[in-house]
């Protein structure tokens, strides 16, 4: 494919974050880039009371600040999950913080929730929702903890983001599973997670005038019994869903990339096809435990049409990708969207 040759000969030799910024700038132009996509006929599905054009969407991390939603939808994504957004703006970790493992079609990132902050992103979403296209868009908003906020005040921090962003979101996602904010994953322990989810649910349930569905995103590195406990907590609190899974801190022996290159990339979340098996295991485990009443979003290692079908067969109501988009190019979203119909 032409994009594969271009990626291997040009993009793979350039700084990953700079390429991301340039590609994203092109996507924000919208129409010229959308001509590269395939046509996707709608196949509407109702999930969490929301009508999605189809089941396949863009995972959080690509559009952190809600700057390119319409351009991304024009490429074929049925929904866009923006973020992760924190209550306060923050620059993220020092560069370099994004690395490719090309032989594995994988990425290591330690971005550190770099974003404009909840107030700025809320204002941007407000303007977007003021347009006809913006009102039609299905937008999830992924929120995380501000780095400088101590763990004991995490609930307040998440609530502040939820309060600002919920009025503009079709659904909210509480992200407690990124490996790039110190101590964040510790919040997945149910005794830490419960007060956060309960507090955010209070906002999502309608303190701003309407109810917004609420989802929690978990890591693939959780032990099976911890996945069960989180699922039970979600059911107990009456949340709408679980997003499974985020990136992994593991560096599996099965990686094709040389160990020197993997080690040089350093710490951070690993994404790509290597995650697929565990992500499906976690997805299936949640579905088996929760039954049909809970929404499950399948994400992590979604690379091709077969992956989309496998997630749906395993019980996913929605499927999301990100790393596959980086390697697959502008026609990738619409190809996978067809598989999700």
189 is in an annotated binding site: no
Ramachandran class of 191: left when φ > 0, alpha when ψ lies in -120 to 50, beta otherwise: alpha
Peptide bond into 96 cis (omega under 30): yes
61 is in an annotated binding site: yes
62 is in an annotated binding site: yes
Residues 145-182: b if buried by 16+ CB within 10 A, e if exposed: bbbebeeeebbebbbbbbbbbbbbbbbbbbbbbbbbbe
DSSP 179: T
Is residue 161 part of the annotated active site? The answer reads: no
109 is in an annotated binding site: yes
114 is in an annotated binding site: no
DSSP 90: B
162 is in an annotated binding site: no
Which of 34, 161, 177, 178 is labelled catalytic? 178
Distance of CA 98 to the CA centre of its chain: 16
113 is in an annotated binding site: yes
323 is in an annotated binding site: yes
DSSP 149: S
Output the CA–CA distances (angstroms, integers) from residue 320 to 68, 237, 297, 298, in the order listed: 17, 25, 7, 6
Phi, psi dihedral angles at 27 (to 5 degrees): -60, -35
155 is in an annotated binding site: no
339 is in an annotated binding site: no
303 is in an annotated binding site: no
Helix (H) or strand (E) holding 259: helix 259-265
What residues are annotated to the active site?
Answer: 178
Residues that constitute the known binding site: 60-64, 84, 109-113, 142, 175, 180, 217, 245-247, 272, 301, 322-323
Residues that constitute the known binding site for FMN: 60-64, 84, 142, 175, 217, 245, 272, 301, 322-323
Residues that constitute the known binding site for substrate: 64, 109-113, 175, 180, 246-247
């Amino acid at each position: 494919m032409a994009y594969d040759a271009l990626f291997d000969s040009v993009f793979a030799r350039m700084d990953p974050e700079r390429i991301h910024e340039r590609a994203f700038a092109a996507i924000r132009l919208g129409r010229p880039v959308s001509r590269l996509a395939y046509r996707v006929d709608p196949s509407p599905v109702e999930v969490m009371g929301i009508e999605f054009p189809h089941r396949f969407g863009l995972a959080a991390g690509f559009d952190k600040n809600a700057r390119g939603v319409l351009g991304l939808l024009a490429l074929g994504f049925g929904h866009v999950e923006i973020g992760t957004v924190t209550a306060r703006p923050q620059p993220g970790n020092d560069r370099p913080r994004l690395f490719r493992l090309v032989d594995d079609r994988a990425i290591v990132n330690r971005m550190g929730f770099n974003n404009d902050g909840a107030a700025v992103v809320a204002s941007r979403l407000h303007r977007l929702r003021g347009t006809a296209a913006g009102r039609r868009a299905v937008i999830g908003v992924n929120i995380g903890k501000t780095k400088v906020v101590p763990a004991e005040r995490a609930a307040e921090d998440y609530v502040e983001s939820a309060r600002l962003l919920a009025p503009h979101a079709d659904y909210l996602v509480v992200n407690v599973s990124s490996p790039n904010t110190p101590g964040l994953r510790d919040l997945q322990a149910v005794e830490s997670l419960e007060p956060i989810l309960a507090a955010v649910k209070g906002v999502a349930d309608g303190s701003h005038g309407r109810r917004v569905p609420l989802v929690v995103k978990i890591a693939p590195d959780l032990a099976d019994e911890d996945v069960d406990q989180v699922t039970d907590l979600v059911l107990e609190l009456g949340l709408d869903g679980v997003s499974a899974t985020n990136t992994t801190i593991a560096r599996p022996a099965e990686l094709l990339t040389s160990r020197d290159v993997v080690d040089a990339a350093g710490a951070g979340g690993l994404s790509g096809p290597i995650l697929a098996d565990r992500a499906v295991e976690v997805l299936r485990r949640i579905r088996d435990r929760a039954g049909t009443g809970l929404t499950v979003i399948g994400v992590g290692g979604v690379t091709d049409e077969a992956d989309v079908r496998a997630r749906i067969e395993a019980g996913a109501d929605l499927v999301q990708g990100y790393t596959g988009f980086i390697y697959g190019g502008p026609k990738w979203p619409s190809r996978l969207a067809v598989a999700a119909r």
